[in-house]
Chain A
Amino acid sequence: MIQELLRVEGLVKYFPAKGAMFYSETGLLEKGSRVHALDGVSFSLDHNSTLGIVGESGCGKTTLARAILFLSRPTAGKVIFEGNDLTDMSYGQLAKLRPNMQLVSQDPFSSLDPRMRAKRIIAEPLRVVNKNKDEVDERVKMVFEQVGLSQEQLNRFPNEFSGGQRQRIAVARAISTKPKLVVLDEPTSALDASTQAQILNLLWHIQSDYKISYLFISHNVSVVRHMSDRIAVMYLGKVVELGQAVDITRNPKHPYTAALISSVPKPNPELRGEVVEIRGETPSPVNPPSGCRYHPRCPYAKENCQQVGPNLVKTEDDRYVACHYPLS
């Protein structure tokens, strides 16, 4: 049996709703209104595998990344990393685990300190765990080469690199401590098509070299499908469907997944197929709809969908769907 690396159980994250962006739909906010960014998210991730998280803006993807890494503490729920429950840990205990769990974020222009040389950016996480300067230097040189950059670029500043090269530096920084889990939050969204393919290949090779598990978060279904073993589809803070990547993309069971997959444009003009259109707009996460959160937009919604929210249930082997009336 393959061992489980990460288990997330009923993860909840609420934010206090402040500011103008939440006023529009509901008028004035009541005191104590909350943004339901994550509402009971559960999944597990095995060693040396990739779980893709896909969903549209505002579905809670990035909040999930930050909550799993305890960069922002979840409101409720558990994150279990290699059998250790992170929720019970003190700040100091968490710090000891951090070298095992790293993050690559979306924008390589804001995630690298503009005043640090590439060398120091990559060495920074290493120096927390290793005080030996020579060993750190050697490791920095090694990962720098592994991500496809040359030694003479080590002393350059971030602004001297292109977007793709910067993302390589961010990857080098993340793998420098030999982590077991790397959370990739939209790692190629800011890059051009030709650079995107380079970074995806790089991530692919690094995974097989280091036996890392990836949590690959993206809004781009094509990219997630390419990179992931399994995919979780999120909508308004909940996982609506989870399963093998091929099954999810070829044979979606949740009406939202079906609409999402059909909306993905294909680079083939002969496949201007029928798109399953979604009615209306994503509702506000401050006042999410009752029952199933997708019911106001779902063409198959029946009366009980408005009242009872469906749980994520196993329908077949490694396939979980949160729908009262899954598609066949």
Chain B
Amino acid sequence: MPLTQDTESEESVLNVQNLKLVFETIQGSFHALNGIDLQIGRKEILGLVGESGCGKSSLALCAIGLLPPESARILDGKILFKGQDLLALNEKEMEKVRGTGISMIFQEPLTCLNPLFTIGDQLGESVKVSFERRQSSRNTSKSEDAKEEATRWLKRVGLPDPTGALERYPHELSGGMRQRVMIAMALAAKPSLMLADEPTSAVDVTTQAQVLKLIRSLVDEVGTSVLFISHDLAVIAQIADRVAVMYAGMVMEEGAVNEVFKQPSHPYTQALLRSFPSDEAKGRDLDIIPGSVPDLMSSPGGCPFHPRCKNAKYDCKIKAPEFREVSPGHRVACEDFRSLSLY
């Protein structure tokens, strides 16, 4: 497929089509993604929510080409990034996409920052790369400029004493500060898409509020699209424009965040929202989802949620549900959905 140059006219930054991913392990094949269809528009934050093992992180790693090559196998599908199929690229071409095209932040910043290099070294690298790629002539990227730009970024993400922080090592910063550095590194190269994999799960709730606000304002400023992965429905409700709910390697429901939270249509989304210990539920039992998340080695046939679904019918056991539109922009993978008004 030829590289499309006319990227600005593309509607969606990322377009995932029927993606199927399997991990081959000693125990057998592990079906991580079973036909994912997702789009992320320009300047849009798509929240991807689901429980552990549903394939949220695999999807992100797949998009940035960081899956373990020895075990991961893509069976089918495409990941179009501005019209270009990422799965067809070789490692060298993929390298050019990373950083300036797609960047990523992870849950635990301490394991992602190199403990032997200062913040300045690591952020500077990301800044230099963006300089080099943006300017065709080579002689313009000076290290003083890079340093200045790095300081500016640290200031932007709200680090106290940004010049001093350049000389510090990751262990000298708190968890919240490290996550801010990660965000600066991910955005310094002004990528078109940032993949954020549980970026606030390792920090305290007051820090989380700060980090969410920061991501929101920087994304608006830089104009980056975001795939925001979280297990926490409430966090997604606070930050995302659209939301996709995943279960056992499938997208169960997708739509504008206001609509999905207000009128959840898939039984899984409904159950998840009802199991949240909210103010109204105090003093009574929470609604629960019986059983536990299925083993992806031996997925149940038909709809993966049918063993735990209270609306399940005979058909649900044999036929996989179609992912179809219930209202404009709101899609549900359920044959027998009933919208539920929650608030």
Which residue numbers of A lie inside 8 Å of B, CB to CB? Answer: 20, 24, 56-57, 162, 164-165, 192-198, 200-201, 204, 219-223, 225-227, 245-246, 249, 259-260, 262-272, 275, 277-278, 280-282
Contact = CB atoms under 8 A, between A and B. Distances in A.
Interface string B178-210: 000000000000000000000000001111111
17 contacts: A193-B233, A193-B276, A194-B51, A196-B275, A197-B277, A197-B287, A198-B288, A200-B277, A222-B276, A263-B208, A264-B205, A265-B205, A266-B278, A267-B233, A267-B234, A267-B278, A278-B206
A266 B238 contact: yes
Interface residues of B, number: 48
Contact of B258 (A204, A263, A269, A275): A269
B97 interface: no
Contacts of A20: 171
Contacts of A200: 277, 286
Given A197-B287, A201-B285, A275-B209, A57 B204 contact: yes
B292 interface: yes
Given A24-B172, A246-B282, A266 B210 contact: no
Interface string B258-289: 10011000000001110111110110011111
A111 B206 CA distance: 29
Contact of B289 (A162, A197, A220, A262): A197
Contacts of A266: 234, 237-238, 278
Contact of A269 (B52, B205, B257, B288): B257
A195 to B, nearest CB: 7
Contacts of A267: 233-234, 237, 261, 273, 276, 278
A221 to B, nearest CB: 7
B292 A277 contact: no
B27 to A, nearest CB: 13
A264 B282 CA distance: 16
B296 to A, nearest CB: 13
B282 A197 contact: no
B314 interface: no
Nearest to A57: B204
A99 to B, nearest CB: 29
Interface on chain A toward B: helix, strand, loop, or mixed SS?
helix
Contact of A222 (B273, B277, B289, B293): B277
B275 A225 contact: no
A265 to B, nearest CB: 4
B276 A192 contact: no
B343 A263 contact: no
A192 B231 contact: yes
B7 interface: no
B206 A270 contact: no
Contacts of B149: none
B236 to A, nearest CB: 8
A194 B276 contact: no
B160 interface: yes
Contacts of A56: 204-206
A197 B204 contact: no
B234 A219 contact: no
B279 A24 contact: no
Given A192-B231, A194-B271, A268-B237, A263 B206 contact: yes
A267 to B, nearest CB: 4
B333 interface: no
Interface centre among A194, A196, A263, A278 (most CB of B within 10 A): A194
Contacts of B304: none
